[in-house]
Amino acid sequence: MKFQLLSLVSHAPHPLTGELPSPADRLAEVVALGEEAERLGFEAFAVGERHAGPFLSSSPTVVLGALAARTTRIRLLTGVTVLAVLDPVRVAEDYATVDQLSRGRVELVVGKGAEAGHFALFGLDEERQWDLQREKYALLRRLWREEGVDWTGEFRPPLKGATTLPRPYGDPPRIWHGSATSLHSTELAARHGDPLFTANAVQPRAAYAKLIAHYRERFAEYGHDPARARVAAGSGGLLIADSSQQAVSRYKELYEAGVRRAFKPELAGKAGYNTPYRTIEEAIGEGPQLIGSPQQIIDKILGYHALYGHDLQSVAVDGFGLGGPEQRETLRRFAEEIAPVVRREAPSTLWE
């Protein structure tokens, strides 16, 4: 197993105290987290992309560029690049630039995004989101693999002899497909022989296992070698204590206040937005959140692996309102007490 640290760069008042750092301080925290993740041996760091709601991740290329300058080894991913609302030419240029700055450490996770409102912000019809995703992804692939591209589509003006610059540092960056609720992403990943990144953040794990099973089935049906079907999985946040009882005592009020704050009544009943695990006891017992003792978290990740067969596990420490020192201590404990055991029990050749 490989490990990734993800930040969506949330920027909302603390669920208990109401404190809110300045945007500059919050972005500096994220860059420092990326540096700490590399120091602790994480294989990847990812920055989300949100264009609506209380987030500062509307320009992940800028944040990843800052990290490219401050790190030397860790891979730099997105989580996700909301390709359906973006211009593939701009995406090709921006991320190839970061790929050059990082000397080939960039990978994209593309998806339609889990935030309501960004389609209207960009003047696009949300009903056409999957048509937008398919067409823009097909163009992005060509722009990174070919020069002098001639192209005609529905959602942007035609291209004649287009070559985006800079070119990627080496081979075209790997592109994962983010999948939260729909078979559209799994189908697109399988068709192109690309890896799948399942959200594993809100729904019961059986829902994500169904998406992954569809991906693997279709991957083989499209004629790709099943051994190349890579899968990654997210999680609903990381909180570590010495025991389950201590986790409940220490984090119950914080976790449940955060769930109440994040609830979106306008999206009630729509899969993938509001967590059904409203109490911390539910989250520990059945949810995708990694909360509890180190052994509980090890068992939960290995339980995911038994269902998903995944190569990469993503964690997040800055979504619950933990302060900077507690975030770093949580990462340290994960790197020292959890990651080595999971790596041994569930080895992966990803990035080797």
Give 71-119 pLDDT, tens digit per residue. 999 999 999 999 999 999 999 999 999 999 999 999 999 998 877 678 9
Exposure letters 115-130 (e unless 16+ CB within 10 A, then b): beebbeeeeeeeeebe
For residues 13 and 345, give the distance between their C-alpha atoms in angstroms, rounded to a whole number. 39
The pTM of the full predicted model, rounded to 2 decimals, is 0.96
Does residue 227 sit in helix, strand or coil?
Answer: helix
Q: Domain spanning 2-345 has what CATH number?
A: 3.20.20.30
**In the chain, what are the domain boundaries?**
2-345
Give the mean pLDDT of 38-53: 96
Give 283-314 pLDDT, tens digit per residue. 999 999 999 999 999 999 999 999 999 999 99
Q: Which residues contact 219 (CB under 8 A, 6 or more apart)?
A: 189, 190, 193, 226, 228, 229
Instruction: Report which residue type is found at 230.
Output: R
